[in-house]
């Protein structure tokens, strides 16, 4: 299911989503749709889209006609304090063994060989790493193959009764390298936008990549961002403040 929330800051919008949906913050994915900094005559504003497969407390969700003010701060909600645990690549229980067997079997049915090991453990996250001589193929262009494998892994985890667990799949440290590349891209595009005082539309990206662009540029006073398009792979428009008004 997909829901939209607004707030003065990203944290406030996420807090509101967690409170209204009755979920913990690790139970849903957040996509930033639009953000603008607070100015002398304008309040800060962040609009997010929440994706979750969890059962939600629908009684607290505002209808489409309701006004979302973003002024209420949820009380008594704390973010889980779990930290990733690295160092032991071997499965520790039946669930981890099943996830590894599933992914290795899936890779084999694709016609490739590869080994899957545990990369890290958190309270509600399990990091898995694919080690293969065909890593470049399994990652795919812009990580699309890796994203597809990760989606299938999360669906399978749900079928095992572990809908509370989020699977993060990586190979050749692609996720980290991709983050670094996107941050550099965001700053480069922001400089070009400030020079031209216009806007630049980036390539289609998945929700995680788009959120990274939004968050990276959130503190640049004269640059704003907005997601455009439909479906999972939307585009981020980076524009000079005032040029789109």
Three-point CA angle 38, 43, 48, nearest 5°? 85
The last residue of one of the domains, among 172, 190, 215, is 172
- Is the pLDDT reported for residue 78 higher than 70? no
In the sheet with 2-7, reading across from the earlier edge strand, the strands are: 2-7, 45-51, 29-36, 223-228, 235-240, 199-201
Number of domains the chain contains: 3
Q: What is the pTM of this model?
A: 0.61
The last residue of one of the domains, among 29, 46, 74, is 74
SS3 of residue 200 by DSSP: strand
- Rounded Cα distance between 119 and 127, Å, is 5
Residue that the structure tokens 């509600």 belong to: 124
- The separation between CA 240 and the C-alpha centre of its own chain, rounded to angstroms, equals 25
β-pair partners for 115? 131
- pLDDT at residue 244 in the model: 53
Task: Work out the pLDDT band at 68, boundaries 50, 70, 90.
Answer: very low
Provide the residue range defining the domain that includes 200. 173-245
99 and 163 fall within a common domain: yes
How would you classify the pairing of strands 125-131 and 166-170? parallel
Three-point CA angle 205, 212, 64, nearest 5°? 75
Task: Work out the pLDDT band at 69, boundaries 50, 70, 90.
Answer: very low
Question: Tens digits of per-residue pLDDT, 198-212?
Answer: 899 999 988 888 888
167 and 177 fall within a common domain: no
177 and 243 fall within a common domain: yes
- The separation between CA 67 and the C-alpha centre of its own chain, rounded to angstroms, equals 26
Please name which of 99, 124, 103, 120 lies closest in space to residue 112, comparing C-alpha atoms: 103
- Is the pLDDT reported for residue 245 higher than 90? no
Question: Tens digits of per-residue pLDDT, 103-114?
Answer: 999 999 999 999
193 and 212 fall within a common domain: yes
Does 81 reside within a domain? no
Dihedral of CA 103/54/63/61: which sign? negative
Does 79 reside within a domain? no
Dihedral of CA 111/165/8/57: which sign? positive
163 and 198 fall within a common domain: no
227/231: higher pLDDT: 227
Mean pLDDT across the chain: 80
Residue 119 is part of a domain; what is its CATH number?
3.30.300.20
13/179: higher pLDDT: 179
Task: Work out the pLDDT band at 119, boundaries 50, 70, 90.
Answer: very high
Residue 44 in tokens:
């800060």
SS3 of residue 162 by DSSP: coil
93/10: higher pLDDT: 93
Does 82 reside within a domain? no
């Amino acid at each position: 299911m997909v829901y939209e929330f607004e707030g003065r800051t990203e944290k406030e919008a996420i807090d509101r989503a967690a409170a209204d949906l009755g979920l913990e913050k690790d139970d849903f994915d957040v996509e930033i749709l639009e953000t603008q900094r607070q100015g002398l005559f304008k309040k800060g504003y962040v609009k997010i889209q929440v994706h979750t497969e969890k059962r939600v407390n629908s009684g607290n969700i505002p209808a489409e006609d309701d006004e979302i003010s973003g002024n209420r701060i949820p009380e008594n909600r704390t973010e889980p304090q779990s930290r990733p645990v690295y160092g032991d690549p071997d499965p520790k229980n039946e669930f981890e063994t099943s996830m590894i067997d599933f992914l290795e079997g899936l890779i084999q049915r694709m016609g490739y060989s590869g080994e899957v090991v545990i990369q890290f453990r958190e309270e509600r996250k399990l990091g898995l790493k694919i080690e293969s001589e065909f890593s470049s193929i399994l990652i795919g262009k812009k990580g699309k193959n890796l994203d597809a494998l990760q989606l299938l892994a999360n669906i399978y985890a749900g079928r095992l009764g572990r809908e509370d667990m989020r699977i993060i799949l990586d190979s050749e440290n692609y996720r980290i390298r991709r983050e670094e590349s996107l941050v550099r891209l965001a700053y480069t595009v922001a400089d070009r936008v400030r020079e031209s005082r216009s806007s630049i539309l980036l390539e289609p990206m998945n929700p995680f990549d788009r959120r990274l662009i939004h968050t990276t540029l959130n503190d640049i006073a004269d640059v704003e961002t907005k997601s455009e398009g439909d479906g999972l792979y939307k585009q981020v428009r980076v524009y000079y403040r005032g040029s789109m008004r």
